[in-house]
Chains A and B, each alone.
Chain A
Amino acid sequence: MSATKVVTEPAPVRERRPPDPRWRWAGLALLLAAAVYAPFQLVPFHVFQLTMVLVYAVALLGLNLLVGHAGQISLGHGAFFAVGAYSGAILLDRWDLPYPLTLPVAAGVAFVLGLALGVPAMRLRGLYLALVTLAIAIFLVPLLKRFEAVTGGSMGLTLAKPAPPGWSGLAEDQWLYFLTLIVTVAAFLLAAGLLRSRVGRALHALRDNETAAEVMGVRLSFYKTLAFAWSAMFAGAAGCVYTWVIGFVSPDSFTVNLSITLLAGLVVGGLGSLSGPVLGGLFVMFVPSISQDVNDAAPGVIFGLLIIVVMYVAPTGLAGLAARLAGRLVKKIPRKE
């Protein structure tokens, strides 16, 4: 690991022009307003699609903490997503827990599991971590089938979706969307806070140069394990929301393909940026639907190609690309003013 070139350099725009906080907040407020407005305008089908984009975005946010910010690779994040989904499903199915309570529990279970797996896994160098996480993702499917009494085995569990409360006047798809939106916003705030804290700085130091970070007193294994656990927690929360939205979990929904799709989405969306996960969510959601019009096998071909191409031309993904493009535009606007 003597290479000094780092994949996840922050986008050049940001380096040159530190963002004006007013602009930034205005942009975010605008986005949030649009996100709140959208479900009243879109047909339920599109609301559902947006809901799934948000679910994936939360999972990618977690993966991003690990891959984009701590520089560790996981090919098994679908496993934590599944753990969250199953935790939620089992709580709803066995104990009839009110669904808002399932979220903290599911996130907690994933966090603890991430911590437990993180302790041995983080002693490994990047490449081996990829192997171990891949093996975990593969192993999880038969494991879920084995404990049939709890997980419903290979038949899975079918659950009732959260019903919109009468006072809201919302349809089911809108209610699910808003629940997901709230979780997403909370997750993003949490992640942003986390990255600005001591933890975030330590993670960046690790990613950019492990040895130097260690010399400066960053406790390597501690922060790596913590990053793994946080990242598992976000994936678990996303999994729980997934259970609310889909109302059905089965082991075969969480194969290793899911893990690989998540990684692909993150890479294309943009490693190491906060908007990357959202763009990655859009990518995961829409590219297969659009590309299947070309040919049945096209989703895979396009997915694979895009990953490779993005790694060449835009290591910061769509987020970086968008920022770069927009940076050029923005530079011109003030002159006109």
Chain B
Amino acid sequence: MAGFVQQVVEGLGAGAIYASLALALVLIYQFTGIVNFAQGELAMFSTYIAWQCVAAGLPFWLALVLTLAVSFAGGMLIERVIIRPVEGAPELTIVIVTVGLFIFVNAAAGWIWTFLIKDFPNPFPGGALEAAGVSVSFSTLGVLGVVAAVMGLLYLLFQHTKIGLGMRAVATNPASARLVGIRVGRTLALGWGLAATVGAVSGVLVAPLLFLEPNMMGGVLIYAFAAATLGGFDSPLGAVAGGLIVGVAETLAGAYVGVIGSDLKVGVPLVIILGVLLLRPQGLFGRAVVERA
């Protein structure tokens, strides 16, 4: 039994990582109505900025604040320079542009920092909390805590601020939003900036666990997509719940389902994405959108 509980805990730990990136995906979807395939790579790039600051001798927390600020500005810049010209184009175009961004950022990071792994300081203490034969490392608890906090902040932002309202209006119908006086361009840029910031938090959280190198987020991305799909692309709560469910499902399937085993567990997100999209496309926590023809 302790073994099973321990597996669940491991799954939650993995899930927290997926959830952190899923939050950034959900955020950008909320603001702009697009799915950003480069989100993980941007998070990785932000983490390198933090690493560079720490390596230059800055204290960790200062480096973190600096990184978040740079990521925010960088996200807005990317929106201005790369996304703005294709604004309003079909999804196909935007997906392709973000895929281009994915390739570009990944290669650029390798160019600048090489592909050797870097050690990244862990903001949380080592060691683990022990109870009833089950141990939960402080890192896992820390990641879960930060993810919950970010989720709470996003919820407040979405539901209880004017920015959130405007942003929902823009995502739903840019033309109407513009007519009622919302500055669409600024809202979209803000969305990219915020998503990049949340992504940076995600990168900094996972770097001590996964070790920093340019492909760090590549493996996480598909799980984060599964998490966002499962929870619903328009719900921060859903992203976190989705992430945790995906993490636990994947870990348990790998450990206890012999046919799957540890080699085929990457099939779990595929099954989850397909299943959710066919059975409940809006996800567990999302709102169904009625499309007007």
B contact residues around A136 at 8 Å (CB): 270
Considering residues A6, A71, A124, A304, which has the most beta carbons from chain B within 10 angstroms of its beta carbon? A304
Give B103's nearest chain A residue, CB to CB: A304
Those of B87-114 within 8 Å (CB) of chain A:
88-93, 95-97, 99-108, 110-111
What are 13 of the A-B contact pairs (CB < 8 Å)? Answer: A5-B88, A125-B91, A126-B90, A127-B35, A134-B225, A138-B266, A139-B266, A298-B107, A301-B107, A304-B105, A307-B97, A311-B93, A312-B85
A contact residues around B251 at 8 Å (CB): none
B contact residues around A298 at 8 Å (CB): 107, 111
Number of A residues with CB within 8 Å of any CB on chain B: 49
Q: In the complex, A132→B269 CA distance in Å?
A: 9
Return B260 CB to nearest CB of chain A, in Å: 10
Let me know if B56 is at the binding interface, CB within 8 A: no
Are A304 and B111 CB-contacts (below 8 A) given A73-B92, A260-B99, A311-B96? no
Let me know if B180 is at the binding interface, CB within 8 A: no
Q: Is the CB of B222 within 8 A of A134?
A: yes
Let me know if A327 is at the binding interface, CB within 8 A: no
Say whether chain B's binding surface is mostly helix, strand, loop, or mixed. helix
Let me know if B293 is at the binding interface, CB within 8 A: yes
Q: Which of B100, B106, B274 contacts A132 (CB 8 A)?
A: B274
Are A128 and B229 CB-contacts (below 8 A) given A264-B99, A304-B101, A311-B100? yes
Interface size class on chain B is 35 or more
* Minimum-distance CB pairs A-B, first 7: A300-B107, A304-B104, A307-B100, A297-B111, A304-B103, A135-B270, A308-B100
Let me know if B157 is at the binding interface, CB within 8 A: no
Q: Is the CB of B89 within 8 A of A7?
A: yes
Chain B residues near A (Cβ < 8 Å): 34-35, 37, 82, 85-86, 88-93, 95-97, 99-108, 110-111, 222, 225-226, 229, 263-264, 266-267, 269-270, 273-274, 277-278, 281, 293
B contact residues around A130 at 8 Å (CB): 35, 37, 95
Q: Is the CB of B35 within 8 A of A300?
A: no
Q: In the complex, A267→B107 CA distance in Å?
A: 19
Are A3 and B100 CB-contacts (below 8 A) given A123-B278, A132-B270, A145-B263? no
B contact residues around A127 at 8 Å (CB): 34-35, 91, 95
B contact residues around A146 at 8 Å (CB): 263-264
